Amino acid sequence: MSNLLLLLILLPVAAGAICYFVRSSAVRTLTVVATAAILTLASLGLLGQGTFEPVTVGSFLGISSDLLLTVLDFALLGVIYYYGVKNKSLLIQGFTLAQAVLLAWFEIVVLDHGTVPALVGDQLSLIMVLIVSIIGSLICIFAIPYMKEHEDHLKLKKSRQPRFFLFMLLFLGAMNGLVLSNNLLWMFFFFEVTSLCSFQLIGHDGTAIAKHNAVRALWMNAVGGLAFVLGIIFVYSQMNTVDLSVVLANGPQGALMLTGLGFLCVAGFVKAAQVPFQSWLLGAMIAPTPVSALLHSSTMVKAGVYMVLRFAPGYVDTFLSTGIAICGAFTFVACAALCIGQSNGKKILAYSTVSNLGLIICCAGINTPLAITAAVMLIIFHAISKSLLFLCVGTIEQAIGSRDIEDMRGLYAKFPRTAMITLIGILTMLLPPFGVLMAKWMAIEAASSNIYVIIMLAMGSALTVVYWARWGGSLMASREADAPAEEQATLIRMPLVALCGGAVVLSVAAPWIYNSMLAPMFQAPPFTVSLGSLDAATGSFGVVPLFIVLGLGVVYAAKAASGFRKAKVMPPYAGGANVVGDNDGAYVGPMNGTVPFTASNMYLGELFAEGKLTPVFNALAGALIVLMLGGAL
């Protein structure tokens, strides 16, 4: 058991080091692919062995692992402080110094250094390990050809890929460590490693704007780190332990512990880029696309929601819980509104990620078995679909040189394969019977007992439809009968097809995923599964029946559509003056000139302008967080 755990955490670190020190592209490719394969197998192996009680990790070379970790912790804070000095950021320096001082005081004066089991594997951790190890690995594989092309484009003298893959792989190890931690101090260490990795990766290209955004990400996450340290101290002062399973075992225990959990959740909010902390994640869009995919699907932001969800048993049925639900719901609707005003594909994905994370946090706050099920389902399916969409945007960007959805109009004509995969990705985010929508359905049913939350979810849900539907529609276009087939590198196509297939197949398998992995989490599971349908007292979702009926329908429709050349293919209507022989919507304009077809989506600037709404939303969200913490005190 322990070997498998160490493999999951340390192998990516070792592989990252190989990538960094052995500067050969063949070795790098081999290392990344092999690591991906081993991580995937190891995570499945861990799943096969099932959940396990907290385990202690022995000593390395005679030094106890707890002491080793403490040393590493301060070394890490030192490194972050160094980057604060190097980038002349007083914010980073200040927040890091505060963390270091508080942590030193805590470790030296307050903490009673007993043995605390370091790692634990419950259902939630195992699911997270699968997401990190499998989806993260696929993204790393995608990054191999992507980064080569990226660097060819930048015409670098010296490749920065060794450094890039070091942090990508290190990220995976740190995430596995974070989700398996049982000791809060261990969790804190891995939490800080992910902050450092994201800083390095966001600033990877080394441009002024990249550096600026990386620094912002680091100081914001340092705020999260500070909240984390405060959280540990508060929790310890009530519970006298940093053993997470002990802390959470008996539910809420007094104001100090709740305040501590409140601070830990704020740390999660920062990591999950909840309003008002969303700007670091938006800024992170400057990074190469595989980084965005990694941050948004299987690492970083998922660490944030994981923490909120992890602590949920500790604040169940408290005001803090309601506060978290309202904060999450607010982020859900606010970021969906901000998303409407965007035409930049990566920004749409970023806002929709934050919006969905808000929904996950909202579910954690509602804190009923049904809501927790919704949250975990959302984590799983959002990770798959969102990583897929980011990789699609990366592929499209390298093909057409733009990430604007207006420039993706009619993508199908030239890049049918990529366009189809992107379209399927969008549909899996938006429509039933796919997993994300199923989780959203659960979330709405779970939220119906709270009027504030349900109003925000209803509005957010409608806003979501607009930005996905118009993007999906933009991709469609006519394709010439003799147009050449699209070419894709194998290492690009493999992750895209795997994720696309995964999004669909796992959606069909949702009832079984629920039965085998989620239902054991609860004493009273919210659903019963019969004939592939999830049934609860409040309603039912026939996953498999819907897939069969709608699937057969779509197959029939696709077959009808594939025979469209038998029908008469006509130019679109242009007010009676099409250009003769042109099927592209061009019409005869003034002076008998040809006016080409142009169109643009409505972005509702007067209602949903980013610049206008962001300060308002930030202020409101800040107030809500104060309300949430104040209630815990």
Partner 1 sequence: MDTLILVIIGLVAGPVIGGLVAGLDRRVTAWFQSRQGPPIMQAFYDVAKLLGKEKMVVNQWQVLCAWVYLIAAAVSVALFFAQGDLLLIFFVQAIGAVFLVMGAMAAKSPYSQVGAQRELMQILAYEPVLILVFVGFYLTTGSFSIEAVWQLDQPLLAKMPLLYLALGYALTIKLRKSPFDFSTSHHGHQELVKGVLTEYSGPYLALVEIAHWYETVLVLGLCALFWTTNVAWMAVLLIGTYMLEILVDNTMARMTWRWMLKRVWLLGMGMSVVNLIWLYAG
Kindly state the helix (H) or strand (E) to which residue 330 belongs, with its residue range: helix 319-340
The correct pick among 33, 316, 420, 459 for binding partner 1 (CB under 8 A) is 459
Closest among 559, 522, 410 to 476, alpha carbons compared: 410
Tokens of 36: 């991906």
47 versus 413: smaller Cβ distance to partner 1: 413
Half-sphere exposure of 549 (CA within 13 A, CB side): 8
Q: Which residues contact 65 (CB under 8 A, 6 or more apart)?
A: 57, 58, 59, 118
**Between 154 and 455, whose beta carbon lies closer to partner 1?**
455
Residues 397-456 that bind partner 1 (CB under 8 A): 410, 412, 430-432, 437, 441, 444-445, 448, 451, 454-455
Can you tell me which of 172, 214, 270, 463 binds partner 1, judged by CB under 8 A? 463
Closer to partner 1 by Cβ: residue 106 or 330: 330
Distances, alpha carbon 189 to alpha carbons 54, 73, 99, 165, 631, in Å: 18, 6, 12, 21, 28
Identify which of residues 115 and 538 has a Cβ nearer to partner 1 in the complex.
Answer: 538
Q: Under a CB-based contact definition with an 8 Å cutoff, are residues 221 and 198 in contact? A: yes
Distance of CA 166 to the CA centre of its chain: 20
Between residues 306 and 468, which has the closer beta carbon with respect to partner 1? 468
CB of 362 to partner 1, least distance (A): 15
Work out how close the CB of 537 gets to partner 1 at its nearest, in angstroms, rounded to a whole number.
7
* DSSP label of 530: E
Residue 377 buriedness (CB in 10 A; 0-12 / 13-18 / 19+) = buried
CB of 633 to partner 1, least distance (A): 27
Helix H or strand E segment including 588:
strand 587-588
Smallest gap from Cβ 79 to partner 1, in A, equals 47
Taking CB under 8 A as the rule, which mask of x and - marks residues 564-603 in contact with partner 1?
x-xxxxxxxxxxx------xxx-----------x-x-xx-
Tokens 């970083």 sit on residue: 300
> Rounded to the nearest whole angstrom, what is the least distance from the CB of residue 410 to partner 1 in the complex?
8
Sketch the per residue contact string, 471 through 490, with partner 1: x for CB under 8 A, - otherwise.
Answer: -xxx-xxxx-----------
Minimum distance, C-beta of residue 431 to partner 1, in the bound complex (Å): 5
User: What are the residue ranges of helices labelled H in 106-207?
Assistant: 123-130, 136-154, 161-180, 184-202
Q: Residues in contact with partner 1, total (CB under 8 A)?
A: 68
Query: 631 exposed, middle or buried (CB, 10 Å; 0-12, 13-18, 19+)?
Result: middle
**Which CB, 441 or 617, lies closer to partner 1?**
441
Q: Minimum Å distance from CB 542 to partner 1?
A: 8
Burial of residue 114 (number of CB atoms within 10 Å: 0-12, 13-18, 19+): exposed
Degrees, nearest 5: CA angle 16-19-25: 150
Question: Closest separation between CB of residue 498 and partner 1, Å?
Answer: 25
Nearer to partner 1, 290 or 472 (CB): 472
Contact stretch for partner 1 (CB under 8 A) within 96-104, 304-312, 368-376, 470-478? 470-478
Nearest to 303 by CA among 259, 273, 323: 273
Nearer of residues 104 and 431 to partner 1, judged by Cβ: 431
| One of 607, 616, 623, 626 touching partner 1 (CB under 8 A) | 607
Q: Find the binder of partner 1 among 251, 520, 553, 605 (CB under 8 A).
A: 553
d(CA 361, CA 305): 6
Q: How far is the CB of 447 from partner 1 (least distance, A)?
A: 9
Question: CB of 478: closest distance to partner 1 in angstroms?
Answer: 4
Nearest distance from residue 606's CB to partner 1, in Å?
8
Is residue 99 within a helix (H) or strand (E), and if so which, with residue range?
helix 90-105
Contact predicate 338/617, CB 8 Å = yes
Q: Which CB atom, from 444 or from 498, has the smaller least distance to partner 1?
A: 444
DSSP string, 438-477: HHHHHHHHHHTT-HHHHHHHHHHHHHHHHHHHHHHHHH--
- Interface mask (CB under 8 A) for partner 1, residues 506-545, using x and -? -------------------------------xxxxxx---
Nearer to partner 1, 337 or 496 (CB): 337
Query: Which of the residues 152 through 171 are near partner 1 (CB under 8 A)?
Result: none
Nearest to 475 by CA among 590, 355, 395, 575: 395
When the beta carbons of 68 and 546 are compared against partner 1, the nearer one is 546
Is 326 one of the binding residues for partner 1 (CB under 8 A)? no
Whole-number minimum distance, CB 14 to partner 1, in Å?
46
Instruction: State which residue, 189 or 617, has the beta carbon closest to partner 1.
Output: 617
- In the complex, the smallest distance separating the C-beta of residue 504 from partner 1, rounded to whole angstroms, is 15
Where b means 16+ CB within 10 Å and e means fewer, 95-108 reads: bbbbbbebbeebee
Q: Which of 546, 609, 613, 627 binds partner 1 (CB under 8 A)?
A: 546
What's the angle, vertex CA 201, arms to CA 198 and CA 202, rounded to 5?
Answer: 80
Identify any residues that bridge with 181 across adjacent strands, giving them in sequence order: 119
CA 569 to chain centre: 42
Amino acid at 375: A
Residues near partner 1, by CB under 8 A: 410, 412, 430-432, 437, 441, 444-445, 448, 451, 454-455, 457-459, 461-463, 465-466, 468-470, 472-474, 476-479, 537-542, 546, 549-550, 553-554, 556-558, 560-562, 564, 566-576, 583-585, 597, 599, 601-602, 607
